[in-house]
Amino acid sequence: MNIKPDQLEDTIVRESKLKPKLPKDYKVIVLNDDYTPMEFVVDVIQKVFKKSYDEATKIMLQIHTEGIGICGIFPLEIAETKMNQVLNLSKESQHPLQCIIEKI
């Protein structure tokens, strides 16, 4: 394949204009229910999202009063992993705590 100098320059300029797409972010949301103990919710938030006790308590109170609480914002794969960790911990402890992800 023979490329003329003016074609090579045109190709380089076009390629440099391409920008990589950043991964879309997702909110990881814990939902309120009437059965899961508040202290369990705090514990799960601390373990899964690496929040301090005070931060986890604040999120738990938001879940309790507003019905939902955003625990973090992550790329899709990480958000799915965190959601599954919450659901697994909940299931292991026989609590109905629910967690979802939502595209931003």
H or E element: which one contains 101? strand 98-103
Residues 59-76 pLDDT 10s: 999 999 999 999 999 999
pLDDT in tens, 21-44: 888 999 999 999 999 999 999 999
d(CA 90, CA 104): 25
Domains delineated in the chain = 20-103 (3.30.1390.10)
- pTM of the shown model: 0.80
**What are the phi and psi torsion angles at 25 (to 5°)?**
-95, 150
